[in-house]
Each structure stands twice: as structure tokens, then as C-alpha cells.
């Protein structure tokens, strides 16, 4: 980590926004390296939540009173904040969801209404379970075939047989932008072009990409894109589904209820226009407002600075860990987000993670909701350290020493 970059980012000032980073776990200062699962939430976002409930709490779109109008304005401004950040063409193409999984299921359910047994759905072997199971359910219901893009030993897509995987029968391609288990930044542009050449739609899981990369939806020309607020310094229970207007108009509503209707009679119901068509019931109003505040917070720091800083942490931690005898890293692509999945020969990752937790260090162990990846490598799981812009080189040093100590205790 260069001093110039550290000063430019002012990591110590950033860390002061996160009271949780000052607490102790098991008597040791907390080192939080589980950011791929959930990022921490800064004071600015917490304050936005408190302000909403103290000053503006009311249901939206339905009231003529002042609080309802204030809450509605804040909620819809949050939508515009996300539209601008992700460069969507229209704010009505931004659908608030409960998170990435919700967004995926919304699209899968919609496609389930018109897929047939002659159609094909394409995913990759690198997917999170939430990127696999919804499409399996749809294929079971419709008879459509699920096809899988394989991966290589380095943890990259094997695109050598792409022409036989994505064909005129393909109706939708669904892959992650960045792997949660391996950190690989995937060449999604190739798949977007291929899908469109074959007349298929493409949905990207951006849960792991959006915290680290500047996403330009119009430049990507993707049909659907999903993200989770809690991985971007926002609260849990809120996310975004982007969809091109034409596609969102084609899909049927995902849920029925208030807000998503135009006219209701016992003979026929007509639906509200976008985005309300997909936001049935009272939404997570405060969550959307806080998510937008988190986006503002990240932009104030600068995603380009965040990406550069996290990459230096990744390179530093990778070199330090690889110096440990018997340690193997899974996911060795040249293009990675700040994620390191590893094992030490002869040691179960759960045992390693448990010992490291006793030293105050939070990492993730297991299959990371990506069992097909673990099956590919013939392992039960990995230990995963994932970094954020509020982590430091000094924390990496402590972590590496903890791994060495745990290894000596478990060997």
C-alpha cells in the first residue's frame, strides 16, 4: 500500500465512521475480513435511518398528508440516486427489492411464464446457489434445459465451447459479475454480446461487483442487473433490480397486492406502470433511503480510489499468505476483487476459522453458497478473507500471523 494512496484515501478517517471497528471480540481488537458476506455500516447511513424514523416515517404514495409526501419524495429520490449511480436510462427501470436473491427470483418467475421445453437457460459453474436454484425450479416447471458454462482450474470461465452453450434456443443467460467464492471478475461483456447475438436476454448478479467497481448499465447493455444494499455499506433487506424497460414490461408481476395495481374488479385487474408493477405492498422505505445514502457515501470516497486501495490490499495479503507452507489459494485469475479463498493442507477450514475467531478476526468458512465450485476442486469448503476500503495493511499482518499460529496449533 503506497503512502500516497493511503493519504489520498485517509483510511483512519474512514474507519472513524464505523464504531464497530473499535470493539473487541474475544478480548482482541476486531479485524473484520468478512466483507463479501456483509459490509459494515457507517455512521452516515445509520443516521439516515434514525432521521427517517424520527422525522418522516409514514407510508408512501397513498397519503395526502405532509409526512406521507415527505416519505414518498425521499423514497423516489433514492430511486433516482441509484439510477444515476448505475447509469440506468430511466428511473422506472430501477426496482427496489429485498436484495439480490429477491431480484433473481423476480426475473426467474417472470421467465417461467413463457419458457417451454424447447428453450434453454444458461448459467455458469461459478454461481452462488441463489443464481442456480431459481433457474432449476423454473426448468422443472417448464421443461426448459439448464446448461452450464464450465470453469478452469484458475477459477475462470472456460468459454471454448461457448458457441454450443449459447444458441438460438437460449432464452436467458444468468451469471455473476464477480464470484463471491473466488473473487474472479468475469468478462461479462463477452457473454452479453453473445447472448444478444442469439436473441437471448442476460441477467447479471452484481452483488459482489457493485461494492468494488463502477457499474455503467447502459455501457454494459445488460438486460437485468441485481445488487444488495448490505454489501455496499447499506442496511440488510434492501436491494435493486435493474431491468430494461421493454423487458420489465414483458414480465408479469411477481407479487400481487397493493401498490402494484391500476384497477381491481372481481372480473379483471390491471397493473400499475413501472416501477410500481413490481413493488407490491408497503416497501422497505427506510431501507431504500439508507441504501441511497450508502451510495452517496461510497461516491464521496470515490469508487476508483476504493478499487485501487482494495487491490493493493489483495496483492499484499496474497503474497503474505502464499509464503505459508501448505497454503493454497483457490481463484487465481489475474482479474480479481478483494477476495481470497484458501485452505491449508491437512486442516479443515472450519477449524481454521474457529481458531482465528478466537483471535478477534472475522473470516468466512464453508462452501460460501457455491457447492458446485467446491465439488470442482474436490474440497469441502475454504476459508475466505474478503477486504474493504476500511481495512488496513496492519490488519492483514495480524491476520497472517493468526493463520500461522492456527496452523501450528492444528498441525
Q: What distance in Å separates the CA atoms of residue 90 and residue 197, rounded to the nearest whole number? A: 24
User: 353: burial class by Cβ within 10 Å (0-12, 13-18, 19+)?
Assistant: buried
What residues are paired with 209 via a beta bridge? none
Q: Half-sphere exposure (CA, 13 Å, Cβ side) for 332?
A: 10
Query: Annotated catalytic residue: which of 198, 233, 286, 369?
Result: 369
What 8-state DSSP symbol labels residue 349? H
SS (HEC) of 303-332: HHHHHHHHHHHHHHHHHHHHCCCCEEEECC
Task: Specify whether the CB–CB gap between 234 and 297 falls below 8 A.
Answer: no
Question: What kind and span of H or E run contains 269?
Answer: strand 269-271
- Preceding amide of 275 cis, omega within 30: yes
Residue 286: active-site member: no
Sign of CA dihedral 88, 113, 229, 398: negative
Q: What are phi and psi of 11, to 5 degrees?
A: -60, -40
Q: What distance in Å separates the CA atoms of residue 261 and residue 61, rounded to the nearest whole number? A: 13
Q: What distance in Å separates the CA atoms of residue 144 and residue 17, rounded to the nearest whole number? A: 49
Q: What distance in Å separates the CA atoms of residue 252 and residue 248, rounded to the nearest whole number? A: 8
Q: What is the DSSP string of 8-64?
A: HHTHHHHHTT-GGGGSEETTEE-EE-BTTT-----HHHHHHHHHIIIII---SSS--
Task: Specify whether the CB–CB gap between 296 and 229 falls below 8 A.
Answer: no
Q: What distance in Å separates the CA atoms of residue 82 and residue 78, rounded to the nearest whole number? A: 6
Q: What distance in Å separates the CA atoms of residue 69 and residue 279, rounded to the nearest whole number? A: 18
Q: What distance in Å separates the CA atoms of residue 287 and residue 184, rounded to the nearest whole number? A: 29
Instruction: Find the radius of gyration of the CA atoms of the chain.
Output: 22
CA 411 to each of CA 59, 242, 335, 345, 408: distance values in angstroms, whole numbers, following the listed order: 58, 48, 33, 9, 5
* Residues forming the active site: 369
Amino acid at each position: 500500500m503506497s503512502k500516497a494512496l493511503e493519504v489520498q484515501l485517509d483510511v483512519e478517517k474512514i474507519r472513524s465512521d464505523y464504531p464497530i471497528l473499535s470493539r473487541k471480540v474475544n478480548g482482541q481488537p476486531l479485524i473484520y475480513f468478512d466483507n463479501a458476506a456483509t459490509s459494515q455500516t457507517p455512521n452516515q447511513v445509520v443516521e439516515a435511518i434514525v432521521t427517517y424514523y424520527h422525522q418522516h416515517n409514514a407510508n408512501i404514495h397513498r397519503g395526502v398528508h405532509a409526512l406521507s409526501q415527505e416519505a414518498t419524495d425521499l423514497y423516489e429520490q433514492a430511486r433516482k440516486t441509484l439510477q444515476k449511480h448505475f447509469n440506468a436510462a430511466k428511473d422506472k427501470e430501477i426496482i427496489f427489492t429485498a436484495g439480490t436473491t429477491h431480484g433473481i427470483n423476480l426475473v426467474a418467475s417472470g421467465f417461467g411464464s413463457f419458457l417451454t421445453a424447447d428453450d434453454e437457460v444458461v448459467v455458469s459453474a461459478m454461481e452462488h446457489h441463489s443464481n442456480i436454484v431459481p433457474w432449476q425450479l423454473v426448468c422443472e416447471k417448464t421443461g426448459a434445459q439448464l446448461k452450464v458454462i464450465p470453469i478452469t482450474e484458475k477459477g475462470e470461465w472456460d468459454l471454448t465451447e461457448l458457441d454450443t452453450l449459447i444458441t438460438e434456443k437460449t432464452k436467458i443467460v444468468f451469471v455473476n459479475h464477480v464470484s463471491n467464492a473466488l473473487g474472479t471478475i468475469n468478462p461479462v461483456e463477452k457473454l452479453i454480446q453473445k447472448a444478444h447475438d442469439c436473441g437471448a436476454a442476460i441477467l447479471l448478479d452484481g452483488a459482489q461487483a457493485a461494492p468494488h467497481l463502477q457499474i455503467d448499465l447502459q455501457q454494459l447493455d445488460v438486460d437485468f442487473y441485481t445488487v444488495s444494499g448490505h454489501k455496499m455499506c447499506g442496511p440488510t433487506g434492501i436491494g435493486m433490480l435493474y431491468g430494461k424497460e421493454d423487458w420489465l414490461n414483458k414480465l408479469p408481476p411477481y407479487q400481487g397486492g397493493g401498490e402494484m395495481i391500476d384497477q381491481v374488479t372481481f372480473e379483471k385487474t390491471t397493473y400499475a406502470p413501472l416501477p410500481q408493477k413490481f413493488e407490491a405492498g408497503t416497501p422497505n422505505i427506510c431501507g431504500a433511503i439508507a441504501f441511497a445514502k450508502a451510495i452517496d457515501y461510497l461516491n464521496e470516497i470515490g469508487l476508483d480510489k476504493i478499487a485501487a486501495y482494495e487491490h493493493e490490499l489483495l496483492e499484499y495479503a496474497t503474497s503474505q499468505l502464499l509464503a505459508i507452507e501448505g497454503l493454497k489459494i483457490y481463484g487465481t485469475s489475474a482479474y480479481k476483487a478483494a477476495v481470497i479463498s484458501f485452505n491449508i493442507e491437512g486442516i479443515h477450514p472450519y477449524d481454521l476459522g474457529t481458531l482465528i475467531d478466537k483471535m478477534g478476526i472475522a473470516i468466512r468458512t464453508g462452501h460460501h453458497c457455491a457447492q458446485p465450485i467446491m465439488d470442482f476442486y474436490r474440497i469441502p469448503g475454504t476459508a475466505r478473507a474478503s477486504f474493504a476500503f476500511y481495512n488496513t495493511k496492519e490488519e492483514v499482518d495480524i491476520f497472517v500471523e493468526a493463520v500461522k499460529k492456527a496452523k501450528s496449533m492444528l498441525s
